[in-house]
Amino acid sequence: MNLPNRLTIFRIVLIPVIILVYLFPYANFGIEMQSYQIQNVSLSVVNLIALAIYVIAAITDALDGHIARSRNMITTFGKFADPIADKLLTTTMFLLFVSKGIIPVVPVIIMVARDTVVDGCRMVASVNGKVVAAGMMGKLKTVLQMITVALVLLNNLPFELWHLPVGEIMLWFSAFVSLASGIQYFNQMKGDIMESK
């Protein structure tokens, strides 16, 4: 297994680590997690730790693609696993936020539904011997989602200091781009999906 694929797998392994950090019942074990107050915004150490792990995962996403392209190490596994790792990471974070009531569920439903449709398209493509790599819209969607996750973990800092709902705007914009990229994937694979024979 080459280095880019190992980085992809490492990113997937980090997901349960973030879940554990974010949802661990610290109080039940007598652990008091500190919070920092920045003017009117409270920022938990738990969020900062989760953000640090998330940033490491995001860096591996940028690295594996760069290494694969620059060293001609692009593989079928990489084309398949890399977008799945991205989806698992971002979707997990959004579901964690929804479970805590931090973000609305509708944009998350849109993004999960889009991913389900795209995965279906990929399955049809694979049956026909095709591997559909992530397109530019799909990559933009991933970048927007990653920025949104970081903003939510930072409680919308620094924008919250000026009462600017940038995190919420980014969340809905991510959902819009996600939907648009899903339609693009569907149109790209429409010939295979609508095949009648």
Q: Who has greater pLDDT, 110 or 129?
A: 110
pLDDT of residue 195: 63
Contact 26, 46 (CB under 8 A): yes
pTM: 0.88
pLDDT of residue 87: 86
pLDDT of residue 48: 96
Torsion of CA 100, 103, 109, 115, to 10 degrees: -90
Residue 197 in this model has a pLDDT that exceeds 60: no
Strands 41-44 and 35-38: antiparallel
- Rg of the chain over CA atoms, in angstroms? 18
Tokens coding 87 = 């989806």
pLDDT of residue 132: 62
Distance CA 60, CA 10 (A): 8
Q: Tens digits of per-residue pLDDT, 38-94? A: 988 899 999 999 999 999 998 998 888 888 888 888 887 777 788 788 889 999 999
End-to-end CA distance of the chain: 38
Domains recognised in the chain with CATH numbers: 3-193 (1.20.120.1760)
